[in-house]
A and B are shown apart, each in its own frame.
Chain A
Amino acid sequence: MANSSRKTSSAKAQTSGKTNKAEMLDYYQQMLLIRRFEEKAGQLYGMGLIAGFCHLYIGQEAVVTGMKAAIIDGDQMITGYRDHGHMLALGMDAAGVMAELTGRVGGYSGGKGGSMHMFSVEKNFYGGHGIVGAQVPLGTGLAFADQYKENGNVSLTFFGDGAANQGQVYESFNMAKLWDLPVVFVIENNQYAMGTSIERSSSETHLYKRGASFGIPGEEVDGMDVLAVRDAGLRAVKRARDGKGPTILEMKTYRYRGHSMSDPAKYRTREEVNEVRQHHDPIDHAKARILDEKWADEADLKAIDKEVRAIVAAAADFAQDSPQPDPSALLTDILA
């Protein structure tokens, strides 16, 4: 994990890490909700209630939580298939997300999309895309629409270290800078593209440098530190909103689980995973700060955990009770 902030631009990083009790408890609750939700999703997958591909976000919670804290209403998010955390961060209903995972009518897509294909126009979440890298031009297009409509909004376009090698990413970088579109490219570098480590797939492993030939500034961020993420996010979002164009934020992060539920993750050691879990966990990190500052004690945090578990349990119940879509839904929603 990177503890320092490195940038390709000349401006010095202004990592303030300033926060207060309310903010920090909010981030803590948010990250915990994502983690507990994902653990429950893993459990429901194990029970055969969730099928197909299911990519868990456990370990990466600080990235989306920090970026959410850097945006305002109307700003959009779009990502790939590891998307549950983004939806929860944007305030989408946990029960609606879980019911989509179980393929039920109460899910955000009425059961037609599944884990990788969910949307909420109301919450400005534009998916949920199953093709690696495809969300990058799509997110750039959302920024194009923001600029065209002059609405002052910014598009946060998330992708992984695997997608960072896709050709369409660079086509998007080029147009985003050429037209100074209000987009922030958030690379969630969890260091493994399925089973291929970044060292084995990338000639330049410092992904924040990947915009250099387009004139796009980049910054390497400790993606396990929610405040570092938020502060980098605030800088990048401000640039975009000020008409200065795109920024690349490389979030150094880690996923604790396999690529998808069916991945045994034999390409890395248990020790490597444990090292991150024990020493760099984003939730432990936030908890330590809260306890240090005496913003809450163990009992208070336990109460938050209980609250979160109740939300997740209710979501899981709803996801199992909600019926499968009616057969009549088979041929609807194809054309307007």
Chain B
Amino acid sequence: MPTQILMPALSPTMEEGTLAKWLVSEGDTISAGDVIAEIETDKATMEVEAVDEGVLAKILIAGGSENVSVNTPIAILIEEGEEAGDLSALSAVEPETTSTASPDVTVDAAPIAPVAEPVMRASDPAIPDGTAMVPVVLRDALRDAMAEEMRRDERVFLMGEEVAQYQGAYKVSRGLLDEFGPKRVIDTPITEYGFAGLGVGAAFGGLKPIVEFMTFNFAMQAIDHILNSAAKTRYMSGGQMSCPIVFRGPNAAASRVGAQHSQDYAPWYGHVPGLIVIAPYDSSDAKGLLKAAIRDPNPVVFLEHELIYGEIFDVPDVKDWVLPIGKARVARQGTDVTIVAYSRMVGYALEAADILAGEGIDAEVIDLRTIRPLDMETVLASVRKTNRLVTAEESWGCMGVGAEIAAAVTIGAFDYLDAPPARVHQAEAPLAYAGNLEALALPGVDDIVRAAKGVCYVG
């Protein structure tokens, strides 16, 4: 049975090429792997190897021919002993039309919504009447969350720098080594890239790792594994692979530690489909959301804040306090302006709201709690009520969380806005060491007050 040899595509972009020269002649016997021709592509000269064995019966396209389209028959191969016979009919056959590898999906037709992931609509669990509220230091709320989940599930373990014997660089893991032992509370070498990847591999292998970064600044060495290995693998495997892992640690500016140790990564991770990103403010949310993160089957980036680790907030004294991921919280009800914040900025927003109240402006404060997926439903409902939006974040404004919210509000509640949204964020510079410059760069209560008055056209 004669076979056509077709002009091959030799690069991802090649559509046609020059058949520079034949290295075999009609009548030659060839075997698989023999170099039979040289082809010039748009990038290079490539050697073409035979795939099948047989006798080269006829060369259809002569050496030196230019602009030969991919898939044009260039020669005919017959089996050894077969008669060449009348090949003219075969050579006249047009190349078979093959379906191309490019997808049918066009951008217009694709079901791309502003929020590409399923919106989670769960509500916070009801707290039974008479439940005691217990004051808990934020760092201990995080520790309690880990301890409770480790008691509940043998597969959960904690690894990171100084998490075990040192009891945590910021004392978040205090006591865990004593309770769970060195098999489940593991001190790592200072090798973020390596241990983040090892954690992802362990999650592939069926465990539920909590990987602590001493700060998220150091996670930049590991971001390849957070994005390429953890976030994308479920999709790349067509849903087969699961990566239940929590990457946690302090995020954003500490105090006077300079540019390399002071950055808010919420927008970085919030950009990535396949990740869940949580940035809680108080002890109750930190505990309830960290427990939810550990139970979640997806990779979760859990952004804490060093400067509020020592603050005390009430936590409901219930047996298993778990909060829904992807649900924002109205931290303060108001009617005049919506202030959207996360992490430490929620505290500043609440302080700003108190000041604004004194000036006759009734601000509603929304604590996003989860950065991805964003709970735009709660934000939009608030803006439809107040008609004004201020966002507050510690990251830079350019491509930031506030930028995303402002865009989503402009799309989702354009007719309700009485003023352009205002964004409060860090100055667009690496964070300075000098005390005065640091203070100038970081967003504070006054900045939020000023922005809120601005969108209310007051003062």
The interface of chain A, by Cβ under 8 A from chain B, is 39-40, 42-43, 45-53, 58, 76, 78, 102-103, 107-113, 117-121, 126-131, 134, 136-146, 148-149, 167-168, 171-172, 174-175, 178, 256-258, 261-262, 264-266, 270, 277, 320, 324-325, 327-328, 330-336
Contacts and interface: CB of A to CB of B under 8 A. Distances in A.
A47 B98 contact: yes
Contacts of A128: 236
B236 to A, nearest CB: 4
B111 A327 contact: yes
Q: Is the interface of B mostly helix, strand, loop or mixed?
A: loop
A335 B117 contact: yes
B298 A336 contact: yes
B238 A141 contact: no
B122 interface: no
Contacts of B70: 46-48
Contacts of A127: 233, 236-237, 241
30 contacts: A40-B51, A46-B70, A47-B6, A48-B70, A51-B102, A52-B12, A78-B201, A110-B239, A112-B237, A119-B241, A120-B240, A129-B229, A131-B229, A134-B228, A138-B198, A140-B198, A141-B202, A144-B205, A145-B204, A145-B206, A149-B207, A258-B46, A262-B10, A270-B47, A327-B109, A327-B110, A330-B111, A331-B116, A334-B274, A335-B274
B10 A261 contact: yes
A112 B229 contact: no
B375 to A, nearest CB: 15
A145 B154 CA distance: 12
Interface in B236-261: 236-242
Given A172-B197, A333-B234, 20 more contacts: A46-B8, A47-B6, A47-B71, A48-B101, A110-B239, A113-B236, A117-B236, A117-B237, A119-B237, A129-B229, A137-B201, A141-B200, A141-B201, A141-B202, A143-B201, A148-B183, A168-B197, A262-B11, A324-B103, A330-B110
Interface string B56-84: 00000000000000110000000000000
Given A45-B8, A168-B197, A327-B110, A335 B188 contact: no
B12 A262 contact: yes
Given A109-B238, A113-B236, A121-B240, A141 B204 contact: yes
Nearest to A323: B99
A332 B200 CA distance: 21
Given A103-B101, A167-B193, A131 B224 contact: yes
B206 A47 contact: no
B9 interface: yes
A334 B6 contact: no
Contacts of A48: 9, 70-71, 98, 100-101
B229 A138 contact: yes
B116 A334 contact: yes
B51 A175 contact: no
Nearest to A147: B183
Contacts of B111: 327-328, 330-331
B205 A146 contact: yes
Nearest to B193: A168
A142 B241 CA distance: 13
A332 B33 CA distance: 41
B148 interface: no
A148 B203 contact: no
B422 to A, nearest CB: 32
A320 B228 CA distance: 29
B49 interface: yes
B32 interface: yes
Contacts of B298: 335-336
A58 B49 CA distance: 12
Given A138-B204, A270-B35, A327-B105, A320 B236 contact: no
A51 B100 CA distance: 9
A11 to B, nearest CB: 28
- Nearest 8 Cβ contacts at the A-B interface: A141-B201, A171-B194, A46-B8, A137-B197, A145-B205, A110-B238, A262-B11, A171-B191
Contacts of A258: 46
Given A48-B101, A119-B240, A145-B201, A137 B9 contact: no
A151 to B, nearest CB: 9
B235 A333 contact: yes
A189 B198 CA distance: 23
B194 A43 contact: no
A107 B239 CA distance: 12
A68 B364 CA distance: 62
A140 B195 CA distance: 9
Contacts of B228: 129-131, 134
B21 to A, nearest CB: 14
Contacts of A49: 98, 101
Given A138-B229, A327-B104, A171 B189 contact: yes
Contacts of B12: 51-53, 262
Contacts of A117: 233, 236-237
Given A48-B101, A171-B195, A264 B205 contact: no
Given A49-B101, A138-B200, A333 B205 contact: no
B371 to A, nearest CB: 14
